[in-house]
Structures are given as structure tokens and as C-alpha cells.
């Protein structure tokens, strides 16, 4: 039985829209060896796998990975299936380094989050003070007008 498995594919602009990047960006990632879409004629056809790769690449970017680093991780992930010992050890080394990076970032983020909260409170505080002052200024003015009416 020739099982016709339907595979969902994507056009370049579909992916661009979904991930809010330009098509230029996606083509660039391909040029850098991060994506490898099939072709229909000369038009690119992206598989679900390609889509995942794009997702991972973008997440990597948000976490400060260069495209080259992401590519390296992808390549290793692909090759370690049939990797030799040296490859595997190298991969483990990279993985542990990345994990250290992530621990660092995690603590960076937590510290920054606290500081942002503090700044926000400070800011809200200053804001309410400004508003109170302005309110008082207005009520003073109103009072003045009232008195002027009584007098004039």
C-alpha cells in the first residue's frame, strides 16, 4: 500500500508571519546553514522540522546565541546519533557550558526582575506624589476663584 502521508508544509511568508520575521531573515538563516527547506521548482517548501528549527533559532537568539552557535548545536545534535567518542565528549562539553550560561542568565534575570519591581514601586510612588501636588494646586486655584467671586 502506497501510503500517502499528508505532511503539513509552509511557505516562506507563512513562517515569516507566524514568527514575525522577514523572509530575508529566513533566507539568511538558510544561507548560514540553519535551515534546509525542500524545493518545488525554485520555491522553498518548509517542513514541520524546518519550522521547529526556525523556532529554536529564534529562541536561541533571544537567549543571546549567535547563529553560528545555534548551527553548531543543531549539527552536533544531528551527528551525535552516530557520533564517535570525541564528538560526544565535545558535545557534552558544550552542553555543560551552555548550562552554566543558562544558570548565569537565570540569576541575572531574577536579580533584574527584583530591581525592575523596585524601580516600578519607586516610580509609582513618585507619580502619586506628583499627582497629589497637582491636585492641591488645582484645589487652591478653585478656592481662590471662589473667594474672588465673594469679594468681587
Provide the binding-site residues for DNA, judged by CB under 7 A.
11-14, 21-25, 27-28, 32, 41-44, 61, 66-68
Closest CA to 54 of 70, 68, 66, 39: 70
In whole angstroms, the minimum distance from the beta carbon of 53 to DNA comes to: 13
Q: Which of left, alpha, beta for 65 (phi over 0: left; psi -120 to 50: alpha)?
A: beta
In whole angstroms, the minimum distance from the beta carbon of 81 to DNA comes to: 26
Closest CA to 94 of 79, 113, 109: 79
* Axis-axis angle for helices 67-79, 48-62 (nearest 10): 130
In whole angstroms, the minimum distance from the beta carbon of 87 to DNA comes to: 22
Question: Could you give the C-alpha distances from 63 to 10, 53, 60, 69, in angstroms and in order?
Answer: 26, 15, 5, 11
Q: Which residues bind its own copies (CB under 8 A)?
A: 59, 62-64, 77, 80-81, 83-85, 88-89, 91-92, 95-96, 98-99, 102, 104-106, 108-109, 111-113, 116-117, 119-120, 122-124, 126-127, 130-131, 134
Are 29 and 67 spatial neighbours (Cβ–Cβ below 8 Å)?
Answer: yes
Rg (alpha carbons) of the chain, rounded to whole number: 29
Nearer to its own copies, 31 or 77 (CB): 77
In whole angstroms, the minimum distance from the beta carbon of 14 to its own copies comes to: 23
Nearer to DNA, 112 or 127 (CB): 112
Nearer to its own copies, 35 or 91 (CB): 91
11 binds, among DNA, its own copies, none (CB under 5 to 8 A by kind): DNA
Closest CA to 77 of 91, 63, 66: 91
32 binds, among its own copies, DNA, none (CB under 5 to 8 A by kind): DNA
Amino acid at each position: 500500500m502506497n501510503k500517502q502521508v499528508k505532511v503539513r508544509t509552509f511557505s516562506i511568508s507563512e513562517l515569516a508571519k507566524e514568527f514575525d520575521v522577514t523572509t530575508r531573515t529566513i533566507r539568511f538563516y538558510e544561507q548560514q546553514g540553519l535551515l534546509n527547506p525542500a524545493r518545488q521548482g525554485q520555491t522553498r517548501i518548509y517542513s514541520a522540522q524546518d519550522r521547529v528549527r526556525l523556532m529554536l533559532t529564534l529562541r536561541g537568539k533571544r537567549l543571546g546565541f549567535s547563529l553560528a552557535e545555534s548551527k553548531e548545536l543543531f549539527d552536533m545534535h544531528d551527528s551525535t546519533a552516530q557520533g564517535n567518542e570525541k564528538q560526544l565528549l565535545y558535545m557534552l562539553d558544550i552542553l555543560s557550558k551552555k548550562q552554566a550560561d543558562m544558570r548565569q542568565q537565570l540569576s541575572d534575570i531574577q536579580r533584574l526582575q527584583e530591581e525592575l519591581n523596585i524601580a516600578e514601586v519607586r516610580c509609582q510612588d513618585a507619580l502619586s506624589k506628583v499627582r497629589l501636588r497637582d491636585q492641591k494646586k488645582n484645589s487652591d486655584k478653585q478656592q481662590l476663584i471662589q473667594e474672588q467671586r465673594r469679594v468681587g
